[in-house]
Amino acid sequence: MAKEPDIAIEKVALDEVTVNPCRGCNACEVLNKCVQRDDMDVLHDKIVEADCIIFASPIYCLGICAEGKALVDRAQVFRSRKYVLKLPIVPPERKGKRLGIFIASAGQNWDIVFDGAKMSIKCFFHVTEIANKDILWLLVRGVDKAGEVETHPTARAEAVATAKKAVERLREMHR
């Protein structure tokens, strides 16, 4: 995707920013914002402005990593905005024109290894106005060590195909 001339990509590594866990105080249901001040202030705006959100995480104990889970939990503010305050997440003209991609790797080869993570990611994308039909999945089993995905027999081809599909879908959405 990065090689496409009309596509700009900004990477945010969650282990390089501070996103505190959600406190469950529900203040966002009244204030339309979280009471915590951390890097989620900036990430919130990036999430709203993005045409495509690529969420990547290793799978730990059948779920996403702690940093990713903190981001998903802090998306509570979007849930509050959407369902309690009845406010839009994105402007009406952008609704249905956003894409989500989940990239994950797991050491296990179990059929269920991604199931827990997929539920969290679907929830995150749903509350940020990305429909289930607009989510792409790149899930690679059997890679446990750093760099091992490079030698996986299908991972590279699947990644290229996912990127190509994402570019096509985004262009269709923005015609």
User: Domain ranges in the chain?
Assistant: 14-173
pLDDT of residue 114: 98
Q: For domain 14-173, is the CATH number 3.40.50.360? A: yes
Q: Tokens for 68?
A: 């990713």
Q: Which amino acid is at 23?
A: R
pLDDT of residue 66: 97
- Round to whole Å and give the CA distance between 80 and 128: 11
SS3 99: strand
What is the bridge-based pairing of β-strands 63-64 and 99-106? unpaired
pLDDT of residue 18: 97
Residue for token pair 């709203």:
48
Q: CA–CA distance from 52 to each of 43, 81, 130, 173 (Å)? A: 14, 20, 9, 11
Strand ranges of the sheet holding 63-64, from the earlier edge strand across to the other edge: 63-64, 52-60, 99-106, 135-141
pLDDT of residue 6: 77
Q: Tokens for 161?
A: 């195909």
Q: Which amino acid is at 129?
A: E
pLDDT of residue 87: 97
Neighbours of 54 (CB within 10 A): 19
pLDDT of residue 117: 98
- pTM, two decimals, is 0.94
pLDDT by 10s per residue, the chain, length 175: 667 777 788 999 999 999 999 999 999 999 999 999 999 999 999 999 999 999 999 999 999 999 999 999 999 999 999 999 999 999 999 999 999 999 999 999 999 999 999 999 999 999 999 999 999 999 999 998 888 999 999 999 999 999 999 999 999 998 8
pLDDT of residue 174: 85
